């Protein structure tokens, strides 16, 4: 499955390079939803909430009321996760809180593991948290088996190439696929149809941002791929 991304910062739809430098702004959230109407799901990230710099709650609620959205960014409490589900989020993405077992347990209990996706974002080979601003000592491959009971899927972002249109690391995603049978979504640097087709062969979803906002990948062609079977 192809999953277009909508990232929010300062009430705008944006794309960042490696989570730091704003590279471009998209249309309004409603304009982007119209562009992505052919896709069964979108991925919605509140970057301000992820970085602890406020939130875009009104836009999150607007988008989740109109599309099947997996929503992340600053989901660090059971209350926040439950509120997103109540607002209409299809599933909730948790990153930083996954490394605090009591909090993760509370979140999973609040919304159910079937509604939870755990983000394992990798930079320099290690998982990064708090809006990619802090590095942990763990690799994603090490963490996945420990986290499987709390979720129904994982989102792996290859931060080293995020937003750079230089391709992603398919070998890393192959390693992630080898350690879990959970749903797996790839993000970060995905630039070509060849990469997407290889991810589909591996039974891995592709979350796309910069490549579709810049027109590097064609939305109509991508939409046709969503009809191919993938868990």
Q: Tell me whether residue 231 is in a domain.
A: no
Q: Which of 191, 111, 193, 121 is nearest to 152 (CA)?
A: 111
Q: Which helix (H) or strand (E) holds 135?
A: strand 134-135
Q: Tell me whether residue 194 is in a domain.
A: yes
Which DSSP symbol is given to 11? T
Active site residues: 7, 121
Q: Tell me whether residue 115 is in a domain.
A: yes
pLDDT in tens, 83-140: 999 999 999 999 999 999 999 999 999 999 999 999 999 999 999 987 777 888 999 9
Give the pLDDT score at 42.
97
Alpha-carbon separation of residue 165 from 40, 125, 211, 215 (angstroms): 24, 19, 7, 11
Confidence of residue 230 (pLDDT cuts 50, 70, 90): very low
The residue segments making up the domain with residue 64 are 2-225
- Across 157-161, 182-186, 208-212, least confident range: 157-161
Q: Tell me whether residue 230 is in a domain.
A: no
- In the chain, the number of structural domains is 1
Cα–Cα distance, 192 to 165 (Å, whole number):
9
Average pLDDT of the chain, as a whole number = 92
Q: Tell me whether residue 20 is in a domain.
A: yes
Give the pLDDT score at 231.
31
Give the mean pLDDT of 70-75. Answer: 95
229 pLDDT exceeds 50? Answer: no
Question: Which CATH number covers residue 39?
Answer: 3.20.20.70
């Amino acid at each position: 499955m192809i999953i277009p991304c909508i990232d929010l910062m300062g009430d705008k739809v944006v794309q960042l390079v490696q989570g730091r430098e704003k590279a471009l702004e998209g249309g309004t959230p409603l304009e982007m939803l119209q562009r992505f109407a052919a896709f069964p799901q979108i991925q919605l990230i509140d970057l301000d909430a992820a970085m602890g710099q406020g939130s875009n709650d009104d836009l999150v609620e607007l988008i989740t009321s109109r599309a099947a959205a997996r929503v992340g960014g600053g989901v660090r409490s059971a209350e926040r996760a439950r509120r997103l589900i109540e607002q209409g989020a299809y599933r909730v993405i948790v990153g930083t809180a996954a490394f605090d077992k009591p909090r993760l347990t509370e979140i999973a209990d609040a919304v159910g593991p079937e509604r939870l996706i755990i983000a394992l974002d990798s930079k320099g080979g290690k998982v990064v948290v708090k809006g990619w601003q802090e590095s942990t000592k763990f690799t994603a491959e090490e963490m996945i088996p420990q986290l499987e009971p709390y979720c129904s899927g994982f989102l792996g972002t290859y931060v080293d190439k995020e937003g750079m249109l230089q391709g992603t690391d398919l070998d890393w995603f192959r390693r992630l696929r080898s350690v879990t049978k959970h749903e797996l979504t790839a993000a970060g640097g995905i630039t070509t149809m060849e990469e997407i087709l290889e991810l589909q062969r591996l039974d891995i979803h592709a979350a796309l941002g910069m490549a579709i906002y810049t027109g590097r990948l064609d939305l109509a062609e991508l939409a046709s791929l969503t009809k191919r079977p993938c868990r």
